[in-house]
Structure 1
Amino acid sequence: MLRKWGMLVLMLLATPALLFAQNTGKLSGIVTDAGTGDPLPGAQVIVVGTQLGTVTDVDGNYFIIGVPVGEYDVQARFVGFAESTVSGVQVSSGYTQEINFALNEGVELEGIVVEYERPLIQKDAVGVPKIVDAEQIVNLPVRGAAAVAKIQAGVVSEEGSGTLNVRGGRGAEVTYYIDGVKVVGTAALPQAAVQEQEMIIGSISARYGDAMSGIISVTTKSGSSKFFGSFEGITSEGMDDYGYNLTSVALGGPVMGESVNFFLAGEYLSQGDSSPRSVGELRASDALIAELQANPVSMSALDADGNTVYIPVPASLGETYFPVDETGTVVVADGGITAGDGTFIPVADGVDASTMNFNFMESADLLGADDFTTDRAKRTREYERFALNGNLNFNVMDNVRMRVGGRYVGSNGESVSTRNVIFAPENNTANERTDVQLFTTWTHYLSNSTFYQLQVDYTDRSGKNYDPRFGLSSRADVLGWGDIDNDVYATTRGYKNTSTESVQVGVDDHGTADPADDTPIMANRPTFTYRWEDGKFPNSETVGRLVAPPGGTGPAGYYQFHNTQLRFNVMATTQIGLHQIEFGGEFEQRTQRSYSLSGRTIGRYVNDDGALYSPGAEGVSNDSPEDAVTSFDQLNWNQLEGATGYVGYNVFGSEEVDSEDLDAYVNDIGGLEAYNVAPHEPIYYGGYIQD
């Protein structure tokens, strides 16, 4: 650990780093006499509303570096000349805006105000940047950083996906920055918080040294000396089936005059369908699904006219038999069959019992095209998200600025596979995510031509996936996910294996009164057993060889993760003549932890001898009954090894661990602690210098 931090200190002192997504820009230009065209040395140029400004050199040239991203009025003054103001100047991160002034002689003249127009070509751009400011973002018909980037040339994205492919690159090759913080996880922000968004594709500046396909850099708004705010509400209720609702609030203003200001924005999003598409989705009605869940299988027979009919079989039918008469024909009485366990199966009048086929077929296989609809709003795609972004800005001294900010995003949603959605939409996966980012930026202007910036930021991202049918009060609950006795699997228990058994149905006395001549009359009766048991579910069983059957395919897996990122950045910029020299440095350490667990696998080790449907520990050998468990913490390594995958946790996923012992792991020394696996902790550092 000392060696690691020692390397960090040396790097910060002596090595410029590879990456710093700065959030300042530069102004430059020339101030001339409008009448003669001669330069005006010593003219004053200021950024209105800030403490930034400079004077022109002997050739009338000026530059102002370290201007925070935003929209400003820039003003030029010179003794004996009317002042001139260019309003609405957009300062973008890392770029120079050229603003030239031509002043009219005469102290009595009123000041001139000119509206700024952004140039079509950014002269100092490296690569192909596309900058979208706050006003443009509000007017676009899309929301979110990825959606705004999708409309740029050279960017391809599959419909319904947030993955961007820039000039043929992979989605993972696009890097996001928010206020100079490299994003780990979601880049969600309240739209009202965005000051500008820049996307760079193609050749990329040296300060983005590890970027491969593209950079998306978002700069958020700051407060000001005056209060401002906004409110936005959007809903699609009553206009479509997607259930889109959004509320956004933003507020900024002074805390202590011009010394301290703040900005805060929050946004809540709720979607009934998080990925709506115009083609819609094939759907069976809720009533039809309920009917299939109650009667997942059917048996065929012939009626009096020789037509095939199908008889639904209730899922409640247990491991039992159908009674038969002396001819081996199932007994139909009082309008149906009464099974050995008392389950009653209604049979229509006129059905020939001798033609019944007891090799059950799935009831869903009997449906036709008229039983389905195509609905645009898909099932089980609900999503909620709350995003919060804010910052405090301190003018510590005339030449020192400090910005402290953060971002919080909490979301939850659900997803279901295409295989399950038609007949088993309840067999889905719920997910929860939490993202927190904090940063502090220190900017020190050493002179009008030199400044440096230090930034430290920390990111914490965590989340979990689970089966919402069971809830999740603790990880130990997963032990019961594979228990087929659970009411969740009432439909799955309805799938049966069929066999026959020979039973005595009467006595043949051969026409004599002598009991010694009697012989039993035997017949084969159909018997039924559960096809599935604890931990074994219809993974490969399908309807029409396409989709999952009613009741689903067993429990979804459990997954949790916790990732953090700590970064230190330093950069400096100085103007030497026509050269703007910039150099910087970065150190980054990530810690990545994850844990996955199969509920169906560990469910086979549970000792549930009193269970009604699948008693006993199916995964435990009769020679080792002591391996059966009644609680999660009783599972041993051999049982967990095939059910888990993890890094940065102990074998139960209950504790985060930071170390591992390979010798203990290989040789099974020290109990379950021997199987701790340390987290992935990649370290990244580097430097750049550019002119």
Structure 2
Amino acid sequence: MVLTSLYSILMFNNLYGDREMSKTKVLLLAIMLAFAPFYLFAQSSGKIVGVVKDKASGEPLPGVNISLDGTQYGAATDVDGFYVILNVPVGVYDVRASFVGYGEVVQTGVRVTADKTTEVNFALEEAAIEGQAVVITAEKPLVEKYTTQSVSLVTSEDLENIPVRGFTDVIATQNSVVVQDGNIHIRGGRDDEVGFYIDGASSVNPLSNTQSLYIIQEAVEEFQVLAGGYTAEFGGANAGIVRTELKTGSKDFKASIDFQTDKFASEGDKFLGTYSYRHHTGVATLSGPLVSDKVRFFVAAENTYQGDRAVRFSKGFDLVQLNGGPLIDQRSTAGANPDTITSYVYPDGFTPKQEEDLWALQGTLSFDLSPLTIRVSSSYSDRTRQHVSGLGFRTPMLDMLNNRYLEDQFTNLLVSTKFTYVVNPKTIAEATVSFFNSQFNYSDSYFGEDWLKWYDSTAVAQHTNGAVQYRDAYRPKDSYFFNGFSFARDGDPVNNYTLRKQNYIGFALNLTSQMGRHHEVKFGGDYRGYKLRQFIISPAAISRLGANNVTDITQVPKADWVSNALPNNYGYDIYGNEADVDKFEDGVKVSQKPYEPVFAAFYVQDKIEYNDLIINAGLRFDYFDSKGRRFKDINAPIDQIVDANTNQLLDEAFVDLDAFQHVSPRLGFSFPVTERTVFYMQYGKFVQMPELETIYAGNSALSRQMVNPRFSFQNPFGLGLEPIRTTSYEIGFRQQLSNVAAFDITGFYRNIKGQVQVDRVEPTNGLTPFNTLVNSDFATTKGMEFSLNLRRVNRIQAQLNYTLTQAEGTGSTRTSAVGALERETPRPTVISPLDYEQTHRGSVILDYRFGSEEGGPVFKNFGANMLFRFNSGHPYTFARSEVGQSDAYASGVDYMTDPRSRRALEPVGSSRTPWNYYFDLRLDKTFKLMEDLQATVYMRVNNLFNTKNVINVYDASGLADDDGFYNNANIEQRNSYLQQYGEAWLNFYKAINIENGQAYWDVLGRELYGHPRQIFFGIKLSY
């Protein structure tokens, strides 16, 4: 990357240093045409426009010099007094107007926002002699007249005071954003329909279409939430886009150190009505010039440690006490010396084996080599999370005797370099190179990534000095069994190893030209080429293969290996070695090349700006080449599809998918009726690929699904999936009520077609029917957004956000229809409320703050920020449990995932969970320690009133504290367990499942309640 950047700098200097301007323009145009089309980069700068007039006469002043203090950005007014400054990096500036014979005027605190036009007008007074500049504090307009769609904005100033921390929690305060079970939905879209950008480069994981990178809050200049309607520059996200713009280096050196922690009490001890979850966060920032004023940097580093990342309402228990005596393993009672446990205590208010350690680094480096500027942005994060090892990732209450654990490590790096060349004061050319690399892997606490040892009794015994013994060479002892519940033994391993690697290299070119006063024409293109690798294996395979005789897994018959080890590999062979070519041995595809999808786009748009009309018109061309496959003919003779000896799919049964191409129009209008009243409308068509994890699979994994489908009836893959298409409409009204208050109201409607859903394929050639994914779901969402903003007046600043949404469709997830398929009943074809719909959702932010010259010694520089969040419940379907294939531990929840043991008692989505209310608070006070050094001490509290918000319920009861099984004496299976295991089973079930929701969390992967109160104390030093 460094060599690439240096080479590009030299090339740009050679090209533009000595040539005539006309040749430069021709060359830039040739480059643009040569590199189009490309994909998914976005501008991360804004525009400043304005008019300069004589204050006395009101006449326009031509030739006035406009500059941004501390930068090389500037312009001169034309004969109409009009000026424009293009490509201004996001941030806050002091804008200066100077003209011979007139006094200088400086407007301070002008905020420039990505892809927005900021208007800064001046009125200059004649002055006989030069004097001090008149300084005016700029106020952000309460009504945005240049914006043709609804945009939510969170600035760095907002982030300093808000009582919540973290990307998801911050944007969840904005209109149209719903966070359900940790997943982000915008305007009723699925969680895979949101795009994420950092400094103009995509940070989306294409396998899941989710955010990959961690974002340091102190590194952010602004967050932007574009909900539903956006210009032709953007693509690949149908529901909304979240943009993160990083800070730019300051003209003077600045530094800060911030540390906060909730470690105010010992583990399990209550303090102020809550517990310590062993969290701390430390952040350091440094900013300033490097070598000269023309080179500036900003860097932020963070470490966040969470001893208990689950942060859940939990209640401790003593199993020995609940059992009425020592725990005797009921699987070993036939022996002379049954295993006996005399102590099993689960802690109060703390979830073990939920540690998380995160390190992150973000920064920017800017070179001002006028007329060329270079900006390098970099984001790096390395996150390690601990998981329960024995019986499942979310079973800490069943794992207290096991000292072994699993870790996952998620490492991401995004580097982008943008070259900006000023062709002339009104024409800007940009070229961007970007590189993204990501790796995810599991690691065992005993043997790391050496998964072949995970089930090796000799290696385990050696590692534990003989403390952990297996029943044979490669099989651990059976778990403990007490009163119908299984509990992990010490040393129990996890039967899953996963390794994923992905990277992309991206290029982008954009040309922006202000044509006259009214037209800003922009066109460009982007390209991203990925390389995706994955290896998933079952380490217990050796025990299933008669491991006593296995010394070299490569000597195991290939068909036996893939049948027992269950690999899902591409970019690797079936043993976990990186591979770049396809290779067959003994009828088995032993290695498979990585997937290398290509996403590209080209766009053109014209922003037309008049005083009473703004039009944003654009056209976007998207190109998606997923490199996926589909069957030539699923009904062809079976010997042309499957190898009869290995039950593996044949390569010749497939053909490559054609690339998809799509043209999307975008059109937005804004009608400034007055300076205080604006109407706006937005229309657009959007297209995106489904999650690539729905398309990509190793050949052996596909074979298990399609030849032996009992393995994956609920989580199938899809062949031949096409892009999802959305049409969006929006109409809104902005009104300034007074000099300090304004509101914005927006109505929206979205129609989504081609969402992914499971379906059944029934070949006519004798191949077993199997489930697959197809583009068959559709949805409609509509609603209204309302926001009210109050500028700071009498120390108080306020913001109110409210969204009313109706989201309906034929399926909420890609497997919503699996119940109908397994029961062989008709698939849903009528729309019903989507599972993540929250009809009412809103937030109120109040900030009350004393200045440095008020409040006296106690309240001087004291502030309080209060955040109130509320939302109505989400839909669920009241259902009856028929238990089916379950056990004494999970009988109260298994029916919610297994359609064979579930009977709906009402139309889909007819019931609702309860409303949720959260109140968060931050108190802070700043002290001046030295001339340029200050300290801020603060406390922030999440869920101040410790409200036990119900976020999910049991379908059989509609409650979070009653699963409809434990107390229901009419259920035969429940009575059978009670008769078999006695009252101790009831005690165990209540403590583990009813009071702590263990089985619900384990089986469904989500929580019944929101987070409890959490209190942080912190200090920040700023220079």
Q: What TM-score range do you get, normalising by the shorter chain?
A: 0.7 to 0.9
Q: Describe the shift of the 1:558–1:411 C-alpha distance in structure 2 as closer, same or farther (beyond 3 A).
A: same
**What are the superposed Cα offsets for residues 338-393 of structure 1, whole Å, 9 maximum, x if unpaired?**
x4xxx5x7xxxxxxxxxxxxxx9x989xx9xxx97773221211000100112322
- Does 2:351 align with 1:378? yes
Which residue is 1:413 aligned to?
A: 385
Which residue is 1:225 aligned to?
A: 251
Q: CA deviation at 1:551?
A: 6.0
Q: Give secondary structure in 2 for the equivalent of 1:131.
A: strand
Q: Describe the shift of the 1:419–1:474 C-alpha distance in structure 2 as closer, same or farther (beyond 3 A).
A: closer
Provide the rounded CA distance (Å) in 1 between the counterparts of 2:35 and 2:282. 48
Please say which of residues 75-84 and 444-453 is displaced more in the overlay: 75-84
Provide the rounded CA distance (Å) in 2 between the counterparts of 1:482 and 1:563. 35
- Does 2:471 align with 1:449? no
Q: CA deviation at 1:434?
A: 1.3
Which residue is 2:494 aligned to?
A: 555
**What are the superposed Cα offsets for residues 419-458 of structure 1, whole Å, 9 maximum, x if unpaired?**
6321214465311121122221101011110101111111
2:199 aligns with one of 150, 167, 179: 179
Provide the rounded CA distance (Å) in 1 between the counterparts of 2:360 and 2:150. 30
Q: Give secondary structure in 2 for the equivalent of 1:13.
A: helix
Q: Describe the shift of the 1:281–1:581 C-alpha distance in structure 2 as closer, same or farther (beyond 3 A).
A: farther
| Greater C-alpha Rg | 1
Provide the rounded CA distance (Å) in 1 between the counterparts of 2:288 and 2:440. 34
- Does 2:169 align with 1:147? yes
Please say which of residues 213-222 and 105-114 is displaced more in the overlay: 105-114
Which residue is 2:107 aligned to?
A: 86
Which residue is 1:647 aligned to?
A: 570
Q: Give secondary structure in 2 for the equivalent of 1:388.
A: strand
Q: Describe the shift of the 1:116–1:429 C-alpha distance in structure 2 as closer, same or farther (beyond 3 A).
A: same
Q: CA deviation at 1:23?
A: 1.6
**What are the superposed Cα offsets for residues 541-578 of structure 1, whole Å, 9 maximum, x if unpaired?**
97665665666975331111111111111111100120
Asked if the contact 1:429/1:556 (under 8 Å) is kept, the reply is: no
Provide the rounded CA distance (Å) in 1 between the counterparts of 2:477 and 2:593. 34
Which residue is 1:66 aligned to?
A: 87
Q: CA deviation at 1:650?
A: 1.4
Which residue is 1:476 aligned to?
A: 452
2:63 aligns with one of 22, 26, 42: 42
Please give the residue correspondences for 1:164-203 in structure 2 after superposition, counting only pairs within 5 Å.
164-185=184-205, 186-203=212-229
Asked if the contact 2:455/2:476 (under 8 Å) is kept, the reply is: no
Please give the residue correspondences for 1:9-158 in structure 2 after superposition, counting only pairs within 5 Å.
13=34, 15-108=36-129, 110-158=132-180
Provide the rounded CA distance (Å) in 1 between the counterparts of 2:43 and 2:349. 43
Q: CA deviation at 1:200?
A: 0.9
Provide the rounded CA distance (Å) in 2 between the counterparts of 1:433 and 1:74. 43
Which residue is 2:521 aligned to?
A: 581
Asked if the contact 1:482/1:603 (under 8 Å) is kept, the reply is: no
Provide the rounded CA distance (Å) in 2 between the counterparts of 1:66 and 1:419. 48
Q: CA deviation at 1:121?
A: 3.1
- Does 2:239 align with 1:213? yes
Which residue is 1:422 aligned to?
A: 397
Q: Describe the shift of the 1:11–1:62 C-alpha distance in structure 2 as closer, same or farther (beyond 3 A).
A: closer
Provide the rounded CA distance (Å) in 2 between the counterparts of 1:82 and 1:600. 80
Q: Describe the shift of the 1:488–1:171 C-alpha distance in structure 2 as closer, same or farther (beyond 3 A).
A: farther
Q: Describe the shift of the 1:482–1:140 C-alpha distance in structure 2 as closer, same or farther (beyond 3 A).
A: farther
- Does 2:220 align with 1:245? no
Q: CA deviation at 1:632?
A: 4.5
Provide the rounded CA distance (Å) in 2 between the counterparts of 1:290 and 1:676. 52
Q: Describe the shift of the 1:363–1:93 C-alpha distance in structure 2 as closer, same or farther (beyond 3 A).
A: same
Please give the residue correspondences for 1:248-267 in structure 2 after superposition, counting only pairs within 5 Å.
248-267=283-302
Asked if the contact 1:177/1:217 (under 8 Å) is kept, the reply is: yes
Provide the rounded CA distance (Å) in 1 between the counterparts of 2:378 and 2:323. 47
Q: Give secondary structure in 2 for the equivalent of 1:675.
A: strand
Asked if the contact 2:532/2:595 (under 8 Å) is kept, the reply is: yes
Q: Describe the shift of the 1:210–1:202 C-alpha distance in structure 2 as closer, same or farther (beyond 3 A).
A: same
Provide the rounded CA distance (Å) in 2 between the counterparts of 1:290 and 1:597. 38
**What are the superposed Cα offsets for residues 154-189 of structure 1, whole Å, 9 maximum, x if unpaired?**
111135x2x211111111211111112211453213
Asked if the contact 2:502/2:532 (under 8 Å) is kept, the reply is: yes
Which blocks of at least 5 consecutive residues in structure 1 are unaligned? 1-8, 299-312, 322-338, 346-359, 495-529, 608-616, 618-627, 669-673
Report which structure shows greater RCO (CA 8 Å, sep ≥6).
1
- Does 2:539 align with 1:599? yes
Please give the residue correspondences for 1:446-595 in structure 2 after superposition, counting only pairs within 5 Å.
446-468=423-445, 470-472=446-448, 474-478=450-454, 480=456, 534-535=474-475, 548=487, 555-577=494-516, 578-595=518-535
What one-letter code is carried by the residue in structure 1 that aligns with 2:575?
Answer: F
Q: Describe the shift of the 1:649–1:288 C-alpha distance in structure 2 as closer, same or farther (beyond 3 A).
A: farther
Provide the rounded CA distance (Å) in 2 between the counterparts of 1:481 and 1:686. 54
Provide the rounded CA distance (Å) in 1 between the counterparts of 2:500 and 2:322. 35
What one-letter code is carried by the residue in structure 1 that aligns with 2:533?
Answer: R
Provide the rounded CA distance (Å) in 1 between the counterparts of 2:460 and 2:164. 46
Q: Describe the shift of the 1:650–1:129 C-alpha distance in structure 2 as closer, same or farther (beyond 3 A).
A: same
Q: Give secondary structure in 2 for the equivalent of 1:638.
A: helix
What one-letter code is carried by the residue in structure 2 that aligns with 1:555?
Answer: V
Q: Describe the shift of the 1:438–1:14 C-alpha distance in structure 2 as closer, same or farther (beyond 3 A).
A: closer
Provide the rounded CA distance (Å) in 2 between the counterparts of 1:652 and 1:289. 46
Q: Give secondary structure in 2 for the equivalent of 1:206.
A: coil
Which blocks of at least 5 consecutive residues in structure 2 are unaligned? 1-29, 206-211, 266-274, 607-1023
**What are the superposed Cα offsets for residues 184-227 of structure 1, whole Å, 9 maximum, x if unpaired?**
45321322221211111121221112221111111112223321
Please say which of residues 415-424 and 384-393 is displaced more in the overlay: 415-424
- Does 2:597 align with 1:682? yes
Provide the rounded CA distance (Å) in 2 between the counterparts of 1:291 and 1:430. 35
Q: Give secondary structure in 1 for the equivalent of 2:398.
A: coil
**What are the superposed Cα offsets for residues 504-556 of structure 1, whole Å, 9 maximum, x if unpaired?**
xxxxxxxxxxxxxxxxxxxxxxxxxx8x99548769x9766566566697533
Asked if the contact 1:127/1:205 (under 8 Å) is kept, the reply is: no
What one-letter code is carried by the residue in structure 2 that aligns with 1:220?
Answer: L
Number of equivalenced pairs: 553
What one-letter code is carried by the residue in structure 2 that aligns with 1:591?
Answer: K
Please give the residue correspondences for 1:334-353 in structure 2 after superposition, counting only pairs within 5 Å.
339=336, 343=337
What one-letter code is carried by the residue in structure 2 that aligns with 1:118?
Answer: K
Provide the rounded CA distance (Å) in 1 between the counterparts of 2:458 and 2:410. 25
What one-letter code is carried by the residue in structure 2 that aligns with 1:258?
Answer: D
User: What's the TM-score once normalised by structure 1's chain length?
Assistant: 0.73
Please say which of residues 75-84 and 568-577 is displaced more in the overlay: 75-84
Q: Give secondary structure in 2 for the equivalent of 1:164.
A: strand
Q: CA RMSD in A?
A: 3.5
Q: Describe the shift of the 1:246–1:536 C-alpha distance in structure 2 as closer, same or farther (beyond 3 A).
A: closer
What one-letter code is carried by the residue in structure 2 that aligns with 1:268?
Answer: N
Q: Describe the shift of the 1:399–1:283 C-alpha distance in structure 2 as closer, same or farther (beyond 3 A).
A: farther
Provide the rounded CA distance (Å) in 1 between the counterparts of 2:457 and 2:235. 47
Q: CA deviation at 1:249?
A: 0.8
Q: Describe the shift of the 1:257–1:483 C-alpha distance in structure 2 as closer, same or farther (beyond 3 A).
A: closer
User: What's the TM-score once normalised by structure 2's chain length?
Assistant: 0.50
Which residue is 1:519 aligned to?
A: none
Provide the rounded CA distance (Å) in 2 between the counterparts of 1:559 and 1:184. 20
Q: CA deviation at 1:14?
A: 5.5
Asked if the contact 1:157/1:164 (under 8 Å) is kept, the reply is: yes
Q: CA deviation at 1:39?
A: 1.4
Q: CA deviation at 1:92?
A: 1.1
Asked if the contact 1:415/1:429 (under 8 Å) is kept, the reply is: yes
What one-letter code is carried by the residue in structure 1 that aligns with 2:213?
Answer: A
What one-letter code is carried by the residue in structure 2 that aligns with 1:582?
Answer: K
